[in-house]
């Protein structure tokens, strides 16, 4: 078993991906009318690689992140895992099913939430959509009632589900989307940008709900997002894709430690602070009684730096861990394959 924050999850593997590859046939065309006319009769076809030799595993009750810039292959990977697309090569199992061969069977055990697409009927109250999904999945009445009541309570959505979906705010609609995707007790839920466009309070409410469902039901969540806050708040492990390549697989903390070797120190003093000239140290902001410096821990140890600037007049020192967003930018800029297992 392995630790996820303060909880322990047994190593029940629910997703296995080995050497998955996918490419698409497309054509290239120059700008202009003549090129457009030419393409009607003859096209220059090219093969675009969307995924190349992707390998990872996901375990029961885990909240696993899939990250990457636009065009990295995230959506293609999700479509393969849900059985929508057939890979060109490789092997995958989701809950024991081969997704593209056993899609109907798999669909009974998974849920999907799209931040920009709704599963709910726009002009009807959300509760009417819930009733329809109950019939589609054949959920027993007692199970349906219990699931609905527990989730409505967790999300404080008792009144929300009675109003037409078109009258709901974005945050309220997302609460209903989560409820409908979880009514049939899926073992895996795929979340695509679940907090896009939400305010801070709505985001925190959604994140807390996802955490509680994962912990109480041992539901596995696969999260694709551009919101770094979602990843830091929810995920212990992630995979990072860039132009179809797997550039990282492992723990978020290991990722930050490896690439985030530059830390920010904020030093406060009762007197003027004298910062020595040290290699690997960069002053970001200097005031009379407060200084912010960037420390490259690969060049100089923080302990060494503190010894050099130590003074009885120093009243506070804050050390900020690397920002995940900056770490991701560094990885995308490197554009090379870099993989490190966190388990």
Q: Helix, strand, or coil here: 228?
A: helix
User: Which residues are registered as beta bridge partners of 292?
Assistant: 266, 285
Q: What are the pLDDT digits (tens) for 242-252? A: 889 998 899 98
The Cα–Cα gap between 21 and 47 comes to 13
Give start-end residues of each CATH 3.30.70 domain in the chain. Answer: 261-321
Beta strands in 181-260 (DSSP E): 188-192, 220-224, 237-242, 245-251
Q: Global pTM? A: 0.76
Average the pLDDT over 254-282 and give the result. 77
Average the pLDDT over 150-178 and give the result. 93
Tell me what pLDDT residue 141 has.
94
Q: Helix, strand, or coil here: 62?
A: coil
Q: Helix, strand, or coil here: 161?
A: helix
- Pick one of 3.40.50.11260, 3.30.70.890, 3.40.50.720, 3.40.50.300 as the CATH number of 2-11+59-88+96-256: 3.40.50.300
Binned at pLDDT 50, 70 and 90, residue 341 comes out as very low
Q: Could you tell me which of 16, 21, 101 has the C-alpha nearest to residue 64? A: 16
Q: Quick one: CATH architecture of 261-321? A: 2-Layer Sandwich (3.30)
**Whether 179 contacts 133, CB under 8 Å:** no
| % of the chain with per-residue pLDDT over 90 | 48
Give start-end residues of each CATH 3.40.50.300 domain in the chain. Answer: 2-11+59-88+96-256
Average the pLDDT over 301-320 and give the result. 77
Binned at pLDDT 50, 70 and 90, residue 97 comes out as very high
Whole-Å CA distances, 266 to 105, 147, 304: 55, 48, 16
Higher pLDDT, 202 or 189: 189
Q: Which of 186-200, 267-281, 287-301, 317-331 is the most confident on average?
A: 186-200
**Is beta strand 220-224 parallel, antiparallel or unpaired with respect to 63-67?**
parallel
Tell me what pLDDT residue 70 has.
81
**Whether 298 contacts 279, CB under 8 Å:** no
Tell me what pLDDT residue 31 has.
72
Higher pLDDT, 17 or 281: 17
State the chain's mean pLDDT as an integer: 84
């Amino acid at each position: 078993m392995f630790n996820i924050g303060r909880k322990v999850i047994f190593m029940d593997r629910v997703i296995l991906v080995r050497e998955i590859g996918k490419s698409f046939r497309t054509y290239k065309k120059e700008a202009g009318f003549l090129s457009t006319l030419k393409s009607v009769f003859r096209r220059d076809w090219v093969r675009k690689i969307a995924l190349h030799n992707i390998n990872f595993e996901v375990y029961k009750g885990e909240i696993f992140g899939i990250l990457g810039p636009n065009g990295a292959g995230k959506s293609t990977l999700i479509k393969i895992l849900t059985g929508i697309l057939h890979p060109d090569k490789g092997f995958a199992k989701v809950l024991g099913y081969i997704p593209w061969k056993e899609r109907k069977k798999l669909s009974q055990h998974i849920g999907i939430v799209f931040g920009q697409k709704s599963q709910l009927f726009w002009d009807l109250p959300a509760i009417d959509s819930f009733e329809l999904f109950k019939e589609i999945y054949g959920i027993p009445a007692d199970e349906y009632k219990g699931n609905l009541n527990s989730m409505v309570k967790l999300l404080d959505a008792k009144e929300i589900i009675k109003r037409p979906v078109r009258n709901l705010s974005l945050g309220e609609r997302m609460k209903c989307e989560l409820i409908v995707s979880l009514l049939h007790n899926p073992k895996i839920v795929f979340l695509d940008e679940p907090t896009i466009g939400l305010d801070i309070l709505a985001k925190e409410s959604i994140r807390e709900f996802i955490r509680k469902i994962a912990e109480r039901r041992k539901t596995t969540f696969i999260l694709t997002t551009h919101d770094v806050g979602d990843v830091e708040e929810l995920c212990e492990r992630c995979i990072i894709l860039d132009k179809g390549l797997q550039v990282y697989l492992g723990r978020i903390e290991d990722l930050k430690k490896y690439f985030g070797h530059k830390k920010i120190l904020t030093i406060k003093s009762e007197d003027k602070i004298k910062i020595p000239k040290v290699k690997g140290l960069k002053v970001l902001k200097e005031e009379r009684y407060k200084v912010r410096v960037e420390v490259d821990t690969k060049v100089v140890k923080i302990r060494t730096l503190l010894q050099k600037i130590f003074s009885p007049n120093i009243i506070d020192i804050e050390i900020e861990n690397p920002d995940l967003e900056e770490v991701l930018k560094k990885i995308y800029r490197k554009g090379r394959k870099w993989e490190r297992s966190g388990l």
